[in-house]
Amino acid sequence: MINPQANSTSDGIHRLKSSGKISANDLLCFLPVRNEILRLPAVLDHHRRLGINHFIVVDNGSSDGTTDYLMTQSDVDLYTTEASFSASHCGFDWLHPLLDEFGSDHWVLTIDSDELFTFPHVEHVSLQQFCQFLDRKNAQAVFAVLLDMYSDRSIEQTAYATGEPLLDACPYFDSGPYEVIRGNIFPTVELRGGTRRRAFWDRDVPFFPPTLSKVPLVKWQRGYRYIACTHYMKPSPNNLSEITGALLHFKFLAGFRQRVELEVAREEHFAQAREYKNYLKKMEQNPSLSLMFPESVRYENSEQLVKLRHLQTSWDWESFVQLQMKQGTP
């Protein structure tokens, strides 16, 4: 067992609280946060239901009650820093030492605080069972597509109250098109396209739309490093699972424009927040911007994502799930 009380600081971050000992089979979730009280309760609850045992969170100077909320959560190890998000490589200079210290030899999920992880048959089996299956297949990492979720109203009319199901507020996504780009860095595949390219990226925008693929679930080994958030890794895990996941992404809630304006002023995101500057330009041009279009799809379940080829399954995984369901294993 590892005792998180062993060290109080790591690379300029200060620990505010510990959730206690981490056991050998515990599933861990790592995430950086800043002013995320709106989404965070729903995000933590979703991943608790999946089977996450401990959340290791680095709070970057929140002022909206996020820190106070996290202090009350018994399964959260909370760290804090006022340092520059940009200078820390989007928080990963803070997360990597923690991943090495607490995550080594564990299955760890590294996400942003507006993402919900899912995988084939998530409704019937736990994340623990999924990871047990991955261990049997000697897989060490899971590729995931990032699906931007949105409502049937304008972004600024997409009301949401803390703690409500995020899918109730934003149940729609783009089924495509998504462009597949091959590269040399693990996982050697990158996805672009979807909602944000359709709604925010004109031909005159001089940079690519966001990458919509990540490697969020990893059997962590000391020395692994993420590159460009969780889009790439180096060194590479030995075996990427043939089963893929998805991250349902809830960026577009009421207040989005105000948050964009703040990030444009801070310039702490990648390349002096150029992506946010592009969002702001489009919102100024159309304050009542809606992301709905004739081909929007309403989210149903993981089976739907498999049929749409946003999730990939396998014969072995299907057989494993059927056996678990037959045995009635939770």
- What lies within 8 Å, CB to CB, of 318 at 6+ separation is none
Q: Of the given ranges (34-38, 153-157, 242-246, 325-329), which has the lowest mean pLDDT?
A: 325-329
Overall average pLDDT of the 110-118 stretch: 97
Positive or negative: CA dihedral 106, 80, 211, 44: positive
Q: Are the C-beta atoms of residues 57 and 41 closer than 8 Å to each other?
A: no
Average pLDDT over residues 67-72: 98
pLDDT in tens, 230-259: 999 999 999 999 999 999 999 999 999 999
pLDDT at 216: 98
* Domains recognised in the chain with CATH numbers: 1-113 (3.40.50), 114-330 (no CATH)
Mean pLDDT along residues 277-291? 95
Is the pLDDT at 170 greater than 70? The verdict is yes
Q: What is the mean pLDDT of residues 290-300?
A: 97
pLDDT number for residue 137: 97
The whole-angstrom separation of Cα 10 and Cα 44 is 24
Q: Helices in the chain by DSSP H: which ranges? A: 40-50, 66-71, 92-98, 127-136, 166-169, 194-200, 256-266, 270-285, 302-307, 315-327
pLDDT at 203 over 90: no
| Predicted confidence (pLDDT) at residue 1 exceeds the cutoff of 50 | no
* pLDDT given at position 270: 83
Residue 271 pLDDT grade (very low, low, confident, very high; cuts 50, 70, 90): confident
pLDDT at site 330: 53
Average pLDDT, the chain: 93
Answer whether residue 315 shows pLDDT above 50. Answer: yes
What's the confidence (pLDDT) of residue 5? 41
The residue to which tokens 């000992």 are assigned: 21
Helix (H, G, I), strand (E, B) or coil at 248: strand
Does residue 173 have a pLDDT over 70? yes
pLDDT at residue 20 tops 50: yes
Mean of pLDDT values over 54-79: 97
- Residue 240 has what pLDDT? 97
Q: Can you spell out the DSSP letters for 24-39?
A: TT--EEEEEESS-TTT
Average confidence (pLDDT) over 255-273:
89
Distance (Å, rounded) from C-alpha 261 to C-alpha 233?
31
Write down the pLDDT at residue 9.
55
Percent of the chain whose pLDDT exceeds 90:
87
pTM: 0.94
Distance CA 241, CA 250 (A): 25
